[in-house]
Structure 1
């Protein structure tokens, strides 16, 4: 069987959860005897290459793949994509991205539908439902993620910094423009936000098209399956392949059970891309308020120079250190040397891989209460939740743990068995062959 996995970015230039997931899936399928190609947008005439045994090919999305193309307001250039896709002779085409001006749009999935017998899409992000990825209406109220033009337009204005009364008024005005068929989206950056209601309508249309074009839409967590159903996706179109540890095939999940010495600092770890949406500035500002003898935190993951400069002042404290990037085979053993992982995400992530890795290493998680975290962290069982973006809430949790360090040991003994790439890959293979 020939399988083509399509993704917006890839190793070695891009490092993230989606890339890690796709690479692990590709290696599993390859070891099961199937031919796998990863196809991604790239520069013109970019050469094919191999990454850890998987062939990576690139298609040229055009010189000016723009927001209008992503929104379906302007047709993208598909010639090179079609040519490269046909060259893989795919039996299965599986998309893992539909994100911004990255070179993959609904038009690409429509083209794939004409080429392969089976087409699938996996949601690694809460696409096409919550426009802010926070699932917080007006930054305050929990939201079920049902896309509604007026409500979502109001929320977009609120998240852009407008006071709530003004956000509601602007949302109503945007909705009025939409009803009068006055199109301002995608033409002038000054008017783009006023086209918010139109944008939400387009996202709803895209979700409907995605559902009709793909044989299955795959979710990594049950909470998002529920969101998609509320947004009109038929139940029979959905498949739930819950997140797990993307270990190499055949390697056991290693476990650690660190014992707490109440006289020593609590050792915390952050693992993942160091990015503003991950909540690191909030986390480090809180850690800075504690004595160095109370907490130690080590950070692992890729970081760009601009954000490094923002975080650099925190590294002057002896208990806050950046440790670089871990190799995949080092992750579980390294995590097992810490007392807890911190996942302070400011936006909702689908099903954070790092949580599964923490649980596999038998360390609890201290996580923000965004939906993707709350789906896996059970308070006072395998971790603790704090209010997303709220420094006082995080400080309260950390202060409590300082006084109750033995709870960290208890939580480390409460870990449920985690799924592995063998489970996840097996589900994919069964679906592909069905």
Structure 2
């Protein structure tokens, strides 16, 4: 089969959960004999290091090889505010059509598999590819909250999950203005729904939010099959009028790097965090909780990130935390280095303040024999219930509650040698492809598990 995978970011220029997933899916399909290509948005550096194969007034495309798979790196020369929300532009769709008409390698596709829905990897690209591939089937993987205009699936300006039947316009105003949901409902009725170009985005927020909602509905109408990695997101999509028959659900698999590794004996009780230095990943809550603890020579916090944030308040907190001798900043680590940290850590902390879909780090930690402390929302909460003997939750955004959970696990023995079964990527892909109606044209059962 001829398969095109699209993703917002990709190696070697960006690294994250979606990139890990797409890379492993691409290799799995390639090893099964499929023709696989990838399209991803890339930074300027990609064009400095690789040949540009297409350029017009709207679109720029380069090409490079990663893990023996051809990647098309793309950039839009401009993206206006309306396109950020609507994820479509006639000018960019026209440019994609011109590019596709000159390149046969993106014709005769069997499957377009979407792994990100953004202004760059949006409706322009999807419609242009669909137009030149009449028998194309479209699969969309739900890796991030693409159905939410706020991109977090949280309720208004709170640390709670989004409620059913939410007024999405009021929800957005509450979040952006940090006002109560009820006040935002009143405000949203007073704001006009049209767009005035030269006014700040806040004044056009009602129009922009509606265009974002419409763009997701368009994606729903174009998608033949959805891949999801949690029951919560499956239920969410059904409420968004996606037919349950179009949804394939399977929990994430992980790299063999994290499976059956030997534990490293340590006199220290090591707590480990791997993530970006942004508020939605819970770094503020984590640092406040840790700095309220008394220094214990037998307890350390390891942070797999650079000690820097673009947000001044977070950067100030990081500077204060850097004075603590019981916090180690490890910098950005490779997958192999993270696996080594897991083997020595007793507990992994996932303090996210956004709806995590089904975080890979959770599965990796469990497979590595670590315990997990996580926020009590979204995919974290669901996985905590799934791995109930190996994890515990704290109240999202509450440093005091997190502090007590850290103290509790500091004084309780770790489960040395005990491992809960976690799927490998190959097992995951075998399972999900067997459930798929789009991929079922070919037998994908693999002996390479």
Shorter-chain TM-score above 0.5: yes
Structure 1, unaligned runs of 5 or more: none
Structure 2, unaligned runs of 5 or more: 45-54, 442-449
SS in 2 for 1:269: strand
Change (3 A) 1:296 1:106: same
Are residues 1:64 and 2:78 paired? yes
Distance (Å, rounded) in 1 between the aligned partners of 2:138 and 2:306: 32
How far did 1:351 drift? 0.9
Task: Work out which of the residue numbers 110, 122, 126 in structure 2 matches 1:105.
Answer: 122
Change (3 A) 1:228 1:200: farther
Are residues 1:344 and 2:351 paired? yes
Report what 1:426 is aligned to. 430
User: Greater shift after overlay, 345-354 or 317-326?
Assistant: 317-326
Number of corresponding residues: 411
Distance (Å, rounded) in 1 between the aligned partners of 2:69 and 2:307: 25
Distance (Å, rounded) in 2 between the aligned partners of 1:270 and 1:133: 20
Are residues 1:391 and 2:416 paired? no
Distance (Å, rounded) in 1 between the aligned partners of 2:219 and 2:307: 33
Report what 2:210 is aligned to. 201
Distance (Å, rounded) in 1 between the aligned partners of 2:112 and 2:172: 33
How far did 1:114 drift? 2.4
Change (3 A) 1:86 1:218: farther
Change (3 A) 1:189 1:419: farther
Distance (Å, rounded) in 2 between the aligned partners of 1:130 and 1:365: 30
How far did 1:107 drift? 3.0
TM-score by length of 1: 0.84
How far did 1:224 drift? 0.4
1:222-242 deviation digits (Å, cap 9, x = unpaired): 110101111211112211132
Distance (Å, rounded) in 2 between the aligned partners of 1:319 and 1:122: 39
SS in 2 for 1:49: strand
Report what 2:27 is aligned to. 27
Asked if the contact 1:138/1:159 (under 8 Å) is kept, the reply is yes
Are residues 1:243 and 2:252 paired? yes
Q: CA RMSD in A?
A: 2.9
How far did 1:132 drift? 5.3
How far did 1:356 drift? 0.8
Asked if the contact 2:258/2:364 (under 8 Å) is kept, the reply is no
Aligned pairs for 1:84-123 within 5 A: 84=100, 86-89=104-107, 90-99=109-118, 101=119, 103-116=120-133, 117-123=136-142
Distance (Å, rounded) in 2 between the aligned partners of 1:318 and 1:39: 44
How far did 1:198 drift? 3.8
TM-score by length of 2: 0.82
Change (3 A) 1:138 1:282: closer
Distance (Å, rounded) in 1 between the aligned partners of 2:306 and 2:146: 24
Report what 1:173 is aligned to. 187
Distance (Å, rounded) in 2 between the aligned partners of 1:367 and 1:168: 30
